[in-house]
């Protein structure tokens, strides 16, 4: 059974998965270091910073993770486009991370810590762009370079000692060095600035849906930070991190399969959806099993060992929801996807903060589960309706969306 799943997963997807798992292992190491060295309240600081990390990791891609496979330009030109996007995401992100620190920090030190930790957002955006280029060009094995830079930052930052802010600064520098190393293996070509900006504008069409969903999802954490203690918020953040880990294989699988889905959505999707359900069940069980010793012997939080496995029960649904999402994007049904994600984001804002206020971390977990069940049902209904299962001819997307 496991061997069949691994063969179905695919070589490129498996390589990208290894890189993403290493990245998530870095995330766990970061959480452990913060909890053990700086206390559970500092985990709450990390949770606040994570709101910017998640949003910027999406917006900072400029939609190129979806757009690069569609562009009729050479590989070298795509590399140049990706390098330009990786450069400009940094100055564009600074006002956001600093603003978050000022808005949510309880002291000058926490303001600096939140801003520096939130620089993980541009880093993950750059990593996603680089991974898309590597998959398209058969260089998926090089996707391990950014997580290796991340790991080096954790080790060097720990060795340096000092405050949480100093640790976060060292981590940020090493992370960006890992991304820069990737472009040593991606030859660049000439691409006019006007064309570069035009391609980036085209890519941003695919950002609206995810931006709506992630912005509202992370807004629930900001609101909850005013309704829960820092300790409860830290526990909720650690549990949500396990959900991120369980989602990692789905992202790898979808990233590797996306070019084929663009070419033939109707032919690829049925088998892809079935395999995603199986993968979701397997990885959910594995992550759930790992959370018990992690909570008892690493975090020393018995409640974590209960809440994290509980949240893992929705993972198979999230994998299926992701497959429906990818089909809509591969077919260029942007307006339909935007409306769907607006509904799903509204559910998060409606359910999670109220439940977290009344029930703390447990309330937040139960509300997250309810939101995912409803969101999966909505996504499946939208994806199979109005002929969404039929391929849309190239060039017809804009007309179809205007009519919608």
Q: Tokens in use for 39?
A: 């206390």
Burial environment of residue 66 by CB neighbours within 10 A (0 to 12, 13 to 18, 19 or more)? buried
pLDDT tens for 75-133 read 899 999 999 999 999 999 999 888 888 887 777 777 888 888 888 888 999 998 998 88
Per-residue pLDDT band for 404 (boundaries 50, 70, 90) equals very low
Residues 365-394, mean pLDDT to the nearest whole number: 75
CA torsion sign, 187 to 192 to 196 to 199?
negative
Residues 6+ positions from 327 with CB-CB distance below 8 Å? 261, 265, 269, 383, 388, 389
Q: What pLDDT does residue 363 have? A: 93
What pTM was computed for the model?
0.67
Among 2-6, 14-18, 32-36, name the one with the lowest average pLDDT.
2-6
Q: DSSP class of residue 141?
A: G
């Amino acid at each position: 059974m496991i061997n069949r799943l691994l063969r179905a997963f695919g070589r490129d997807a498996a390589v990208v998965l290894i890189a993403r798992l290493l990245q998530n292992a870095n995330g766990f190491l970061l959480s452990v270091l913060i909890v053990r060295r700086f206390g559970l309240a500092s985990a709450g600081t990390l949770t606040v910073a994570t709101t910017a990390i998640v949003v910027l990791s999406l917006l900072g891609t400029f939609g190129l993770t979806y757009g690069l496979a569609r562009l009729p330009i050479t590989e070298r030109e795509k590399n140049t486009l990706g390098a330009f996007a990786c450069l400009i995401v940094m100055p564009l992100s600074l006002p956001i991370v600093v603003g978050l620190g000022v808005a949510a920090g309880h002291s000058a030190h926490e303001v600096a810590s939140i801003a520096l930790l939130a620089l993980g957002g541009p880093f993950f955006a750059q990593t996603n762009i680089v991974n898309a280029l590597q998959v398209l060009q058969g260089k998926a094995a090089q996707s391990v370079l950014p997580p290796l830079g991340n790991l080096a930052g954790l080790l060097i930052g720990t060795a340096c000692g000092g405050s949480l802010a100093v640790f976060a600064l060292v981590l940020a520098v090493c992370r960006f060095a890992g991304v820069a190393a990737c472009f040593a293996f991606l030859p660049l070509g000439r691409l006019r600035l006007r064309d570069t900006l035009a391609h980036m504008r085209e890519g941003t069409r695919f950002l609206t849906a995810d931006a709506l969903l992630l912005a509202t999802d992370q807004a629930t954490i900001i609101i909850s930070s005013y309704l829960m203690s820092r300790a409860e918020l830290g526990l909720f953040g650690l549990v949500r991190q396990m959900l991120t880990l369980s989602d990692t294989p789905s992202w790898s699988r979808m990233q590797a399969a996306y070019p084929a889905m663009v070419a033939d959505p109707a032919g690829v999707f049925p088998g892809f959806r079935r395999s995603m359900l199986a993968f979701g069940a397997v990885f959910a069980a594995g992550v759930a099993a790992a959370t018990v010793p992690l909570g008892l012997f690493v975090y020393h939080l018995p409640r974590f060992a209960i809440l994290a496995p509980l949240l893992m029960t929705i993972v198979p649904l999230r994998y299926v929801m992701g497959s429906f999402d990818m089909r809509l994007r591969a077919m260029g049904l942007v307006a339909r996807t935007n409306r769907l994600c607006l509904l799903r984001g509204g559910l998060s804002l409606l359910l999670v903060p109220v439940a977290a206020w009344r029930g703390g971390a447990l309330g937040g977990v139960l509300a997250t589960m309810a939101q995912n069940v409803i969101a999966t049902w909505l996504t499946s209904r939208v994806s199979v309706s109005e002929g969404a299962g039929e391929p849309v001819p190239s060039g017809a997307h804009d007309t179809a969306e205007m009519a919608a």
